[in-house]
Amino acid sequence: MNLLELASGFATEGTPQRVEPLGTGNVNATYVVEVTGGRRYVLQRLNTAVFERPDLVMANLETVVRHCRQRLAADIPSGDRPPWQVPTPVPLRGGAHAELDAPRHLLHHGNGSWRMITFIEGAHSLDCLQHSSEAQEVGRALGRFHALIHDLPAAQLADTLEGFHVTPRYHARYLEVLSAGATGASAVAQRLSDPQAQACVAFMEARQDLVPVLEQAREAGHLRLRPIHGDPKVNNVMLCNATGCAVAMVDLDTVKPGLLHYDIGDALRSGCNPAGEETTDLEAVSFDLDLAAAMLRGYLHEAGAVLTRHDIAHLYDAVRLLPFELGMRFFCDHLQGDVYFRVNHARHNLERALVQFRLAESIEAQEPELRELISMLCDS
Ligand code: GN1
Ligand code: MG
């Protein structure tokens, strides 16, 4: 079955005419489908090596979308901004092509699980930010999203990605892979012999104390779990073409209880490195304090009231930890032979890891300024 045939399994308003790859997601394969009449939709093949239960992913998505829609319906519209939009799953067309036990939004074909989601029209996303105005909107988007989902009951969501953002778990896995590579002539050992891989190993070894900072604060009762987006990287924020205002957050597969710090750290690590996470020019990688200030300002404008004294005290740690964690995830995946993140070439995940570690270093080099910025913004 080709992509157009797959697309026609869903109840679109019009007949699918064209399918093209969309975006730069590292996990699912994503396409945009145009139907007669001009409407567009997002078609995705879920990566079942990552999301082992696509049925539960779709059930969660339905729950999150329903909750956001109810909240938005009760909201007083703010006249000066375009309305907030929610990407919504499209049901299967009369059950066509679906296996009998498939949920109403999932099309099983071969060993793939496909779903369709509405396209946010009149908006675009950015892979890298250049201007403070963009960063402020990304911050507002995350704050708005947190405000929308803050009362989503955890019991309504299945945990479809256990251990997501729990840094000590990634670290434990990394240490296992590392020790597997310490002996013999395995593929892991061979990858570890590369000088850039050795630099990654040394970088992480020097920062072992960083690994448990957030989880320890959670265990001590200083930070508590709340519903989060989980993957708020900058290109998951849709900005209105006409006004530049944030109008949606997409990629809602990882919404579940977590620490707000995972989200805030992830938005800052992805948005405040103007070179972007796919650059191969390590010298160009740095953490931009002006972008960070604008993003935090935007976030606080929408959601500042929910941050406690302890939350604020751990913001710097979060901003430093998230690029470190992602670098470790990329590097570990490189050592294991790229089983999680989609890659274009054999060193791709190693290169991505080096970018994140360089970013973490840039954050460390600006620690006093960043701490000062956080306290200035949060105390005002
Ligand atoms: C993955 O699929 P995508 O590209 O939106 C990953 C995030 C990483 C991101 C880095 C479920 O997100 O955690 O931050 O790559 N998503 C998952 O680009 O692991
Ligand atoms: Mg994602």
How sure is the predictor about 376, in pLDDT bands with cuts at 50, 70 and 90? very high
- How confident is the model over 317-370, as pLDDT tens digits? 999 999 999 999 999 999 999 999 999 999 999 999 999 999 999 999 999 999
- How confident is the model over 83-100, as pLDDT tens digits? 999 999 999 998 544 444
CATH architecture of the domain 132-379 equals Alpha-Beta Complex (3.90)
In Å, what is the CA distance from 110 to each residue of 2, 21, 93, 116, 160? 12, 20, 18, 17, 22
Give the model's pLDDT for residue 190.
Answer: 93
Task: Look at residue 293 and tell me whether its pLDDT is greater than 50.
Answer: yes
Whether 333 lines ligand 1, by a CB cut-off of 6 Å, is no
Give the model's pLDDT for residue 98.
Answer: 46
d(CA 303, CA 283): 34
Nearest CA to ligand 1 atom 18: 26
Lowest-pLDDT choice from 58-67, 70-79, 283-292: 70-79
Domain spans in the chain, listed from the N-terminal domain onward: 3-119, 132-379
Whether 254 lines ligand 1, by a CB cut-off of 6 Å, is yes
- How confident is the model over 30-70, as pLDDT tens digits? 999 999 999 999 999 999 999 999 999 999 999 999 999 99
- Neighbouring residues of 202: CB distance < 8 A, sequence distance ≥ 6: none
Q: Report which DSSP code applies to 82.
A: P
- DSSP, collapsed to helix, strand or coil, labels residue 377 as helix
Whether 26 lines ligand 1, by a CB cut-off of 6 Å, is yes
**Ligand 1 atom with least separation from CA of 253:** 11
Question: What fold, for 3-119?
Answer: Phosphorylase Kinase; domain 1 (3.30.200)
Q: pTM above the 0.85 mark?
A: yes
Report the residue among 26, 56, 165, 341 best suited for mutation to probe ligand 1: largest number of ligand atoms under 8 A from its CB: 26
Whether 356 lines ligand 1, by a CB cut-off of 6 Å, is no
Amino acid present at 63 = T
